[in-house]
Amino acid sequence: MEQPIDRLNRMREEALQGGGQERIEVQHGKGKLTARERIDLLLDPGSFEELGMLVKHRSTNFGLDKQQFLGDGVVTGYGKMSGRLVYVFSQDFTVLGGSLAEAHAKKICRVMDLAMQNGAPLVGLNDSGGARIQEGVVSLGGYADIFYRNVRASGVIPQLSAILGPCAGGAVYSPALTDFIFMAEGTSYMFVTGPNVVKTVTHEEVTSEDLGGAKVHATKSGVTHFTARNEAAVIQEIKDVLGYLPQNCEEDPARLPYKGGDETRPELDALIPDSAQQPYDIREAIAQVADSDSFMEVQKDYAENMVCGFARLAGRSIGIVANQPAFLAGVLDIKASAKAARFVRTCDAFNVPLLVLEDVPGFLPGTDQEWNGIISNGAKLLYAFSEATVPRVTVITRKAYGGAYDVMNSQHIGADLVLAWPKAEIAVMGAKGAAEIIFRKEIASSDNPEATWKEKEAEYAELFAHPYNAAARGYVDEVILPRNTRAKLIRAFEMLENKVDKLPRKKHGNIPL
């Protein structure tokens, strides 16, 4: 008879082998790590405590009784990441393709419940072929159990999802409900229906990469927030993002030690071109304002007219939302509005102060934008800023035209502080368009319409194309020299660090989705 300790050791060794050495080699051959190798990269050495290692499924349908693996295709537990408590589940593709069914789902739900009860982040490492068909409706029920917990945890604890293999059907919706999605280039895919189903239903021929690869979701759909060249780089990105976030919604992000010095940045004085029509890269302003090498951009390749990301300011974690004049002149369109709105709400949920760098000529006109809902999508950004209770500071670097001026965290919708550079233009529209409308009859009746137009444009610009009317009315708190921006922002966020702002009591708002 096998001794109890020997039996335990044998079972543990069996669980550590997953689907067996042959399948592990196949996994490695695809350039992928195993479920346990991923956890080892994610967590501090020796800190992982596994839960449910000996769990097995209970199904006997279609020969499943002869395919039982300890752990049932997912490794779950908790550990430390840079000394912080983190809960994790890592799906094992070597076991039944990482397919999700009753026991597999219960293990994931178990760590989700613990994460909520103990107020710590949850990291999901997804590598699954989808629902385990042989188990029928209990597989679908397992997915729904996870979805329900994702929603309950939303805004309470950070939830991060790495896609490290195929992720199809119901498997895509749990990541979509989490705060950030990470994908590995060349080995990870996300789609509701795969290429074969697409071909059958729509007769389109498409590869997995073109349908739902990392590049597609980073540039076209915006589903993924970060991509990296391999799994190790993805896991490092997860660590980096969590470094800007707190453990839960009741805490503030950790503040790093910072030794102050000369905070002036003379390079900013020359950033804005003399011509209002000439572009510049707002990332250059971010690099000068934020702590050195601290900016981590979110959805970098999607809606490039809007730049969003985390940074540090004198060691303090902040979220940055900035119009990008180097792409579509920094205009607000459907994608940019939704991208920024989501980021603003994420920062607000986890007590990350917001810095807005504004240079916006307005909303993008056109039938495509109107027919696809620029009104409701632009309203998402307006709603997100208006609802946010974290410290919010805006710096108007150049243009702030029309309704976009209101939407980009103006004082009217709750900004705590609004600063402007001397070249800022705060008006209903640009001088050229305004002159054409206001002086249309005068221009048309003139002997030299072009000269009259230029004259009236200059007249309008003199009256409105500057920050001083807004400053006179208190809508701009201070007009500052660009070189002093960083110093002003450090003091502003220090001043606001004890801000208290409560929303009216309600079940929840009704954001224009």
Active site residues: 169-170, 403-404
| Calpha distance 467→401 (Å, rounded) | 12
Dihedral sign of CA atoms 7, 9, 10, 16 in order: positive
Q: Are 380 and 351 in contact (CB under 8 A)?
A: no
Q: How many CB atoms lie within 10 A of CB 105?
A: 24
Asked if residues 420 and 399 have their Cβ atoms less than 8 Å apart, the reply is no
Residue count of the chain: 513
Beta carbons of 53 and 105 less than 8 angstroms apart: no
Which region holds residue 20: left if phi is over 0, alpha if psi is between -120 and 50, else beta? left
Query: 3-state SS of 68-133?
Result: CCCCCCEEEEEEEECCEEEEEEEECCCCHHHCECHHHHHHHHHHHHHHHHHCCCEEEEECCCCECH
Mention every residue, 6+ apart, whose C-beta is less than 8 A from residue 439. 452, 453, 456
Determine whether 26 is exposed, middle or buried from the number of CB atoms within 10 Å of its CB (0-12, 13-18, 19+). middle
User: Which of 250, 183, 174 is closest to 214 using CA atoms?
Assistant: 183
For residue 164, give the nearest of 74, 49, 296, 46 by alpha carbon. 74
Whose CA is closest to 362, among 304, 314, 404? 404
